[in-house]
Chains A and B, each alone.
Chain A
Amino acid sequence: MPGIIGNFVGSSAAAGSAYGLANDGVNIARYVQYFATNSAGNTFDQMGGATGASDALGSVWAMHYFGMGENLNKMVNWGMEEKKWDYVGVGYAIRAFSWLALTNMYGEVIMREAFRPEQLVFNYDNQKDVYDTVRAIGRLALDYLNKTGDNASQANLAKGDAYFYNGDVNKWKKFVYTVMARSFNHLSNKAEYKPDSVIKYALLGINANDDNATCKFANTGITGTSNFYGPVRNNAGALRQTEYIANLMNGLNSRFTGVTDPRSFYMLRENTNGTIRGIKPNKGASGLVTADQPQSFWGQVFSSAAAPVSDVTCRYIFKNGSPFPIITASENKFMLAEAYLRKGDRSSARTSYAEGISLNIDHLNTDYSAGVPAPRLMTPAAKTAFLTNPVVVPPAASLSLSHIMLQKYIALYGFGMHETWVDMRRFHYTDLDPSTGVQVYADLVTPSGIDLFINNSNKLVYRARPRYNSEYLYNIAELTRIGAIALDYNTKEQWFSQK
């Protein structure tokens, strides 16, 4: 089980491979403009897909089918045999999460025929069926998590999930509820979308930072026990903050004009001028003078991709031992806020929205203050000032989807790129808010012209292709059927974001 937990982020099972959300997150974060590369020419900065024989963006595929794969099946089977219902429940909970993460990345996936060790080729299933399965497995997970007695025991479960929920089945239940809420929230463009379903499950879900689903790290100096984005793993050397996130937090974005976000020195890096600036995708230093160029997330100069020996100069999720959030209470609150707003309950929406920001600030203060320059540490007064600033938290009547999605964008910065990508795709990156007529992701400029990858045929990215070395060598017939052979398959919109 620790291995399965580790797999959320980036496992290090056999042969030290790194499968998981954080690995593909490096590229998905480029799609959503969390990160960009410090030099031009990165395919993913250009919203390109994996090309040739590359396994890029195939890490979640490997996480689901191999990393968790038979291990989860075995865990569930053993749990059943030994009547450890909590293990069975946790197994299903993780599987529900994993199906959802998988399909949101790839769209059509192998579901009915998955985990057949003797089979040579595999058929794909529709995304709708996968969404239904997520909920079915989620309910199964809840049934078992609710089942006490026999050999279910907190102490024994904690042996498995010490670095996650430490044996607390109630937290696992909340995890499942929030996964269910996500599955309903993702369908906001559909006629059958019901905000009440989101609200019902989100209220039962993760609503306190203490319940956050977070992968923790033993940080013993080997890759497997280290955060994927820390210097030991050496995966974030060339990543820099984008202009988009920098401007959202330094007051240059039109939605939050003039407001300096107190969280900026936690999440982002200053330059030698002491200001927060970011780069544009595929533009390298983007014309910033040297003194304006942001440091690397490890505190190195802009041009250096090198990992420092020690992580004292690192902050946030970029330290070797920093916990890596999977789902936070803050995200759950923003889901609630969106659903309330869509339902028309503006006052509840505003409350949830403010709670989302507040929980995020608390979360940063608790887990990520290490390395932040002392004058930049958030005081309670700074938090209050921020939350009472009407530019940030407007009156209920003026709260817009744009506020919610942008604050959610900030709150999920650096770790929640998978969910942010779902959100952005729901709004087709640049959709206008029908009620206000302004772009929901205010000021967002998507790559175009030579900054948009050549294979995209001028379209934005909507999915990742399945892992090359799993599918493109051995499952060609089925890929051909679903159209995955096309070079612009990465631009094919998925079912979940369609009307």
Chain B
Amino acid sequence: MRQIKKITWLIMLPMLLHTMVMAQTSIKGKVTGPNNQPVSNATVTIKGKAKASQTDAKGEFTVMVSKGETLVFSSVGFVSKEIKVAEQTIINVKLTQDEGLLEGVVVTAMDIKKNPRELGYSVQKVDGDDIQETQRENFVNSLQGRVAGLTISPTSGAAGASSSIVLRGFNSLSMSNQPLFVVDGIVVDNQSVDETSDGGRGIGLASDRPNRNNDYQNRIADINPSDIDNVTILKGPEATALYGSQASSGAILITTKRAKTTKFQLQYDNSFRVSQLTRFPETIDQYSNGNNGIPASSFRYFGPAYGDTTLLFDNVKLFFRPGIAQTHNIGMDFGLKNSFFRLSGSVFDQQGVVPNNDFKRYNLRLSNTTKIGKYIELMPSVSLIKTENNKVLRSAGGYMLSLMIWPNKNNILNFEDPVTGDKLPLFSSNPNADYDNPFFNVYNNVGKDVTMRATTSLGININPTSWLSVQGRFGYDAYNIEGYTRFHPKSFYVSSAIQGTLDNYWRKYAGYNHTITATAKKKVGDFSFRGMVGTMWQDYKTQMYAITGNTLSSTESFDSSITAPNSRVRLLRNYFGEYNKQILRQFAYFGEAAVSYKNMLFLNYTHRFESASTLPAKNRNYNYPGGSLSIIASDLIKPLKNSDVISYWKIRTSLAGTARLNTPYSTQSVFVNNFASGNGFSYGFTNANPELAPERQSTYELGTEFRLFRNKLNLEATYYNTLNKGQIIENFRLSYGTGFVLNTQNAASTRNQGVEITLGSNVINKAKFGWNFQMNFNKMWNEVIDMPKNVSEYYIADTWLYGNARGGLVFGGPTTSITGFGYERNLNGDVLINPTNGLPVVEQLFKIRGDRNPDFTLGINNSFRLNRFRLNFLWDIKVGGDIFNGTHRFLTGAGKSPLTADRFTPRVVKGVLKDGRENTNPTPNTIVVVPALNDAYYTNMPEEDFIEKNVNWLRLRDLTFAYALPKNPFRDLPGIKTLEVFLTVNDLVLMTNYTGADPAVNGNTAGSRGVGGFGFDYGTMPAPISFNFGLKTSF
């Protein structure tokens, strides 16, 4: 089908080209702005005709006109200019900035474009060019540091890794905190596969796994970064109030590139990447396998030190390979009369730094803008995407941990018998009792996902009169994923009796949504009024067919037919040949009333009425208001009006409410499959709640914006305060006296506050040299302000990755806390020591031992321009925030951590004996321990010791150096208009006080709920350093 479409367009192309050469006179020229800066992408139209042209990067244009016609030059942020064509062949135009519209327009909720002056809330915009320039295939990763209040947590540095996105901190304890993604006014899916299926009733895997050792792409990453014109980030619920509950964690609005004229343009760019993994947890290598100083065939290194002659291998180096990737993007603009087309395609092919980890993506997109008559504009688009991801396991069960503790006397390359291909034994004749060699692991414990996606949308704008406009946005987004995860029959991670496991799944998603709005405007004297009414319909269906089985009859095939039939387990409905479904439908209508006075006082009120299918009938209909006020103080206060210092000063405030929904079907306890002999059904763990009501979120925001020194410096500051009441807590534990293990209630409340400051400056803006600077500061703090009194801790089970530390939440504590085991102490705070062995007594209780929330984060972006050179670099700074370094705990227990290097040094643990007198008459500990001979010294260390406090980082995220070639060498190459070569380096510099590989860690995938697993490090592969080079050209 796709093939046919491609061919059709190739045939049509010459015809389109033909229509363009019929004009009369060719006029060239240059459009400039202040300081003679070229204005690129300015539109040049002939008055009264649809035909138009655009200026290039140097502000130059060519247009065919007849004498007597009028050319109109316009560009966002500038006052339009009209020039009548006489005898000239060169027209140079100087545009003046439109002070009132300096920032241009911004896209707000419902794809309504507004003047930033009137907004009572904070919005931030990122240019598509900046996103593309990072060469990051998952475009969300390029947003980190560029937007105040936006945090991206990639799951790992693997090819195809997911990323979770959080705007303004964590509001919900057990539901998703991911924002809504909207592309050209259409809601687009960003789920990651959540492996948990709650005993087969959900849409996870049949083996019902906890999102720890696999990863699934967050689906918004399917978007081709080269199709993005710009991204607008709506952070608070005031901004997203019109999108309703789906956007209670904010919204990210993507506007795609569209052709604006009929002029034929072709762009091509490519990028070639080499990546190298350079950051690893530190290990020591001088001790042999053993326990308590005695040699033993175990994966612990408390044996004697190696002799000088022992041959040791650098297995870590032997394991990883250079990552290689290439991207090719092509874009084509063309048009016919009043219809403008853009066709774009992209191929991305990546080989990860871990063997057998690859990712491929193919994108094709066709969009069109057609004007029909005077009033109607149609904007259809279709995108087709295919991704393929060969995956390896991560975290527990992954290659990383076994690589770190693989005996260095053993050459890691010898992992299979060269003849039979069998796993080579290391310590045990039973392969299932022997750790998997990391190579064996990545080649044999494997997964794969193949996704096919089609997103179609249609935008309709009708402007029958100057005061009324009607907009419709209709979108259908669908994809299928087919995937598997296989554990080899001889893997350490399955017992020999199991003989391997294979999980297969088939996932289908289909989402339809539309929004229709009608806006009327009226000006009466100094007052302007605007009224809007609209409706929105959303219908999202995710379906899953999943099967797991063991006793694999083949290691070549990944078809579920190789599992033993009697061992197969499916999701509940799959037994009846049907997919498990999760359907969410939501209907809403809403309105907005706005009034402004003299373009300097803006008052806005919105209200949304919503009905959602996930809630019980009696609580299904709910509504919430939003309001904002914006004052342009610089206009209001007379003396400021023409000030050289303060050019613009705005004060804004807004308030809004919104709701958050429960997971579909969490209102009714259901039976799940029972796998006891005879099968049948029994209740799952979950006590569903037929009384559930939507979670309520209310926020207020205060902000101010300054433009100082004749617009040289922009400063924007925002404070927000969000209260989430009656949070829907799914899967929280109570006494089993309820008859269940997990419960569902409107139980807790949280408060989330923050300050965001953006400082930007166009420091130098000369014709030959320019320097732009932007800084995004973000500080958040949050607290669990209500929880049932008897619930001492609520935790997201996924985060309990290793040992006894997890993302537990405690009344009065932060929402980002780490709970875990620690030292038992007396009233004086001294560590208690076990009198029998001299080791500390561990307090085996999950108490708050750390907080992952940073003190603040700062993104600093600098862009320099010198003649034909450009240099951009983005620093990402994080100060504070704790990390549970599970990897370090693992390596310490295994005798590989540098912490164990001085194991032969006798020591007395500082503390007092737990002898019953620890609080009355404490006895200081004097028991000498030699850890080398008593390695319980290390294994006994509680998690508290491995929570690294106040981890900071300074990271050079993206660095781009580009050079635009002069035209000369290509004189003879017809058609080439611009040619730029570039080098982009990702993650080049990382300075941190963290002892692990990389402090930007996430123990879970983006599919995890609530606060998720950021700040939990357990066998996570960090992001490699990547060098991207390529060229960018247009024809």
Binding site for B on A (CB under 8 A): 1-7, 11-16, 51-54, 61-62, 65-67, 69-71, 73-74, 110, 113-122, 160, 162-163, 215-225, 231-232, 234, 306-310, 320, 450, 454, 467, 469-471, 473-477
- B970 is an interface residue with CB less than 8 A from chain A: no
Query: Which partner residue on chain B sits nearest A475 by CB separation?
Result: B735
Closest CB in chain B relative to A393 CB, distance in Å:
37
Q: Of B401-409, B677-685, B889-897, which stretch is located at the interface? A: B677-685
Bound-state CA distance A51–B824 (Å) is 14
Query: Which partner residue on chain A sits nearest B200 by CB separation?
Result: A14
Of A163, A473, A477, which contacts B733 at CB under 8 A? A473
The residue among B495, B496, B675, B842 with the most chain A CB atoms within 10 A of its own CB is: B675
Known contacts A2-B674, A14-B672, A222-B550; is A110 also within 8 Å of B567 by CB? no
- B198 is an interface residue with CB less than 8 A from chain A: yes
Query: Which partner residue on chain A sits nearest B551 by CB separation?
Result: A221
Query: Which partner residue on chain A sits nearest B569 by CB separation?
Result: A222
- B740 is an interface residue with CB less than 8 A from chain A: yes
Contacting residues, chain A, for B740 (C-beta < 8 A):
66, 69-70, 117
Bound-state CA distance A475–B738 (Å) is 12
Q: How many A-B residue pairs have CB under 8 A?
A: 199
Contacting residues, chain B, for A163 (C-beta < 8 A):
676-678
Query: Which partner residue on chain A sits nearest B738 by CB separation?
Result: A117
Query: Which partner residue on chain B sits nearest A305 by CB separation?
Result: B433
Contacting residues, chain A, for B432 (C-beta < 8 A):
306
- 17 A–B contacts, CB within 8 A, in A order: A2-B677, A12-B674, A13-B675, A13-B683, A14-B684, A66-B739, A69-B683, A69-B736, A115-B737, A231-B495, A467-B736, A470-B741, A471-B735, A473-B793, A475-B790, A476-B790, A476-B792
**Apart from the given pairs A13-B673, A14-B684, A223-B675, 17 other A-B contacts in the complex at a CB distance below 8 Å:** A4-B682, A7-B676, A13-B199, A13-B682, A13-B684, A52-B804, A53-B821, A53-B844, A66-B739, A70-B739, A110-B735, A117-B687, A221-B564, A232-B497, A454-B836, A470-B735, A475-B737
Interchain CB contact under 8 A, B736 and A71: no
Against A, the Cβ 8 Å flags (1 = close, 0 = not) of B192-203 are 000000111000
Closest CB in chain A relative to B682 CB, distance in Å:
4
Interchain CB contact under 8 A, A14 and B739: no
Bound-state CA distance A97–B74 (Å) is 85
Query: Interface SS of chain B: helix, strand, loop or mixed?
Result: loop
Contacting residues, chain B, for A476 (C-beta < 8 A):
790, 792
Interchain CB contact under 8 A, A15 and B199: yes
Of A71, A308, A309, A450, which contacts B682 at CB under 8 A? A71
Query: Which partner residue on chain B sits nearest A122 by CB separation?
Result: B737
Interchain CB contact under 8 A, A3 and B682: yes
Bound-state CA distance A219–B684 (Å) is 23
Interchain CB contact under 8 A, B737 and A114: yes
Known contacts A52-B821, A222-B569, A474-B791; is A115 also within 8 Å of B682 by CB? no
- B503 is an interface residue with CB less than 8 A from chain A: no
Contacting residues, chain A, for B496 (C-beta < 8 A):
306-309
Closest CB in chain A relative to B427 CB, distance in Å:
12
Query: Which partner residue on chain A sits nearest B498 by CB separation?
Result: A232
Contacting residues, chain B, for A310 (C-beta < 8 A):
497
Known contacts A65-B736, A116-B738; is A224 also within 8 Å of B674 by CB? yes
Interchain CB contact under 8 A, B683 and A71: yes
Interchain CB contact under 8 A, B676 and A12: yes
Closest CB in chain A relative to B812 CB, distance in Å:
16
Query: Interface SS of chain A: helix, strand, loop or mixed?
Result: loop
Contacting residues, chain A, for B736 (C-beta < 8 A):
61-62, 65-66, 69, 467, 470
Contacting residues, chain B, for A7 (C-beta < 8 A):
676
* CB-CB contacts below 8 Å: B801-837 with A: 804, 821, 836
Interchain CB contact under 8 A, A221 and B677: no
* CB-CB contacts below 8 Å: B741-781 with A: 741, 743
The residue among B497, B669, B734, B788 with the most chain A CB atoms within 10 A of its own CB is: B497
Contacting residues, chain A, for B884 (C-beta < 8 A):
none
Of A6, A119, A306, which contacts B676 at CB under 8 A? A6
Known contacts A53-B845, A223-B675; is A3 also within 8 Å of B551 by CB? no
Query: Which partner residue on chain B sits nearest A230 by CB separation?
Result: B497
Contacting residues, chain B, for A467 (C-beta < 8 A):
736
Of B677, B739, B741, which contacts A224 at CB under 8 A? B677
Of B499, B788, B792, which contacts A120 at CB under 8 A? B788
Query: Which partner residue on chain A sits nearest B548 by CB separation?
Result: A222
Contacting residues, chain B, for A120 (C-beta < 8 A):
734, 788, 790-791
Closest CB in chain B relative to A231 CB, distance in Å:
5
Bound-state CA distance A2–B679 (Å) is 6
Interchain CB contact under 8 A, A218 and B677: yes
Contacting residues, chain B, for A110 (C-beta < 8 A):
735, 737
Contacting residues, chain B, for A16 (C-beta < 8 A):
208, 675
The residue among B498, B564, B566, B737 with the most chain A CB atoms within 10 A of its own CB is: B737
